[in-house]
Amino acid sequence: MSESMQRAARKQVLIAQSQLQRMQLALYADDARNAVRPAGLIGAGMARPAALVALVDIVARLLGWQRFASVVRLGAIAVAVFRIARAWRGSGR
């Protein structure tokens, strides 16, 4: 009986450690994205959606939804290109 309780306790500790490592990895990935993203060039109008896309990307990858993460990333790139083109077209007048 004691051995089965030890196994169960060890299993719970391992599960907790893996969850902690996932959260740390997500935090490190977010920090890396924030460090790499040139906030001055993107501007406040695009920094907030970029953070949302990064969050969705991390969650999708953790859940194993690589295709969904790729679609979200491509959609974010398309929106960024559209906004840049619209801003560029508007500033040339």
pLDDT at position 40:
55
What is the DSSP annotation of the chain?
Answer: -HHHHHHHHHHHHHHHHHHHHHHHHHHHHHHHHHHHS-HHHH-HHHHHHHHHHHHHHHHHHHTT-HHHHHHHHHHHHHHHHHHHHHHHHHHT-
pLDDT per position as a tens digit, 36-67: 665 555 455 555 666 777 777 777 778 888 88
Name the residue ranges covered by the structural domains of the chain.
1-36, 39-93
pLDDT per position as a tens digit, 21-44: 999 888 888 877 776 665 555 455
Q: Which residue has the higher pLDDT, 85 or 15?
A: 15
pLDDT at position 44:
52
